[in-house]
Amino acid sequence: DGGITQSPKYLFRKEGQNVTLSCEQNLNHDAMYWYRQDPGQGLRLIYYSQIVNDFQKGDIAEGYSVSREKKESFPLTVTSAQKNPTAFYLCASSIFVTGNTGELFFGEGSRLTVL
Amino acid sequence: GDSVTQMEGPVTLSEEAFLTINCTYTATGYPSLFWYVQYPGEGLQLLLKATKADDKGSNKGFEATYRKETTSFHLEKGSVQVSDSAVYFCALRSGSARQLTFGSGTQLTVLP
């Protein structure tokens, strides 16, 4: 079945370490997104990408980095520069075609805890 | 810029009660409107959507009508079940925007 796969589902990191969250989609979608969700709060956009080898910063990009070498993959690296990385991270994708409603399809999320 | 304002939670209802979660928006042009649902520990799932004024989106007994005159997209369900307990997010995409704008979410708990 088509969908978005995020891994790992749970991840623990020591302070000062970088960690990479994986996101793979087989929906043939052009656009991919990373959101951060904190307890009791909404979603905040970290980075998004509309095509391979191109991506843009969202509202809270500081301390994060991404790459888009393949259409199917959009990994997120949480660097040691991110001051408060403990959160639930959601990856999403969408078709981006003029006239399309452009709803997002989400993965199951990755919960990162910094010890 | 675009924004979405949702009714603050948490909302607690008894099973079979009527549900309304208010959502109003500010956007340029004619946005597409969405409701997403998030069950505990999971990602978001699209619940319903509407793309033009007076459209009604519906799914699983939930409904929402795109009201341009009041810039609203309130979520309703006539009889909630315990399994409806989740967080509900209202969202919009306006014009050629590259991403969705989300509300802050409303936690719903349904008691048996």
In angstroms, the CA B66 to CA B69 distance is: 9
Question: pLDDT tens digits, residue range A10-22?
Answer: 999 998 899 999 9
Number of C-beta neighbours around residue B98 at 10 A: 16
In angstroms, the CA B105 to CA A28 distance is: 29
Identify the band that residue A35 occupies on the pLDDT scale cut at 50, 70 and 90.
very high
* CA distance from start to end of chain B: 41
User: Which residues does chain B have within 8 Å of residue A92's beta carbon, measured at their own beta carbons?
Assistant: 43-44
Identify the band that residue A101 occupies on the pLDDT scale cut at 50, 70 and 90.
low
Closest C-alpha to A6, from A29, A42, A33: A33
Judged by CB atoms closer than 8 Å, whether chains meet at A58 and B99 is answered as: yes
* Model confidence at A100: pLDDT above 70: no
| Exposed / middle / buried, residue A77 (Cβ in 10 Å: 0-12, 13-18, 19+) | middle
User: Which residues does chain A have within 8 Å of residue B102's beta carbon, measured at their own beta carbons?
Assistant: 42-43
The beta-carbon neighbor of A33 closest among B36, B89, B99 is B99
In angstroms, the CA B91 to CA A106 distance is: 14
pLDDT of residue A2: 72
Q: What is the DSSP string of chain A?
A: ---EEEE-SEEEE-TT--EEEEEEE-S--SEEEEEEE-TT--EEEEEEEEETTEEEE-TT-TTEEE--SBTTB--EEE-TT-S---EEEEEEEE---TTS----EE---EEEEE-
User: Which residues does chain B have within 8 Å of residue A102's beta carbon, measured at their own beta carbons?
Assistant: 32, 93, 100
Identify the band that residue B69 occupies on the pLDDT scale cut at 50, 70 and 90.
very high
* Distance of residue B36 Cα from the nearest chain A Cα, in angstroms: 10
Radius of gyration of chain A from its Cα atoms, rounded to whole angstroms: 14
In angstroms, the CA B60 to CA B14 distance is: 18
Judged by CB atoms closer than 8 Å, whether chains meet at A101 and B32 is answered as: yes
Q: Are strands B101-102 and B86-93 parallel, antiparallel or unpaired?
A: antiparallel
Within an 8 Å CB–CB cutoff, is residue B89 touching chain A?
A: yes
pLDDT of residue A98: 59
Within an 8 Å CB–CB cutoff, is residue B49 touching chain A?
A: yes
Question: pLDDT tens digits, residue range B90-106?
Answer: 999 887 677 888 999 99
Backbone φ and ψ of B111, nearest 5°: -95, 140
- Residue to mutate among B52, B73, B88, B99, with most A CBs inside 10 A, is B99
pLDDT of residue B9: 84
In angstroms, the CA A81 to CA A76 distance is: 14
pLDDT of residue A89: 97
Within an 8 Å CB–CB cutoff, is residue A100 touching chain B?
A: no
Question: pLDDT tens digits, residue range A50-98?
Answer: 899 999 999 999 999 999 999 999 999 999 888 899 999 999 999 866 5
- H/E segment holding residue B30: none
Judged by CB atoms closer than 8 Å, whether chains meet at B44 and A106 is answered as: yes
Type of residue found at B101: T
- Token code pair at residue B46: 């699209």
Within an 8 Å CB–CB cutoff, is residue B42 touching chain A?
A: yes
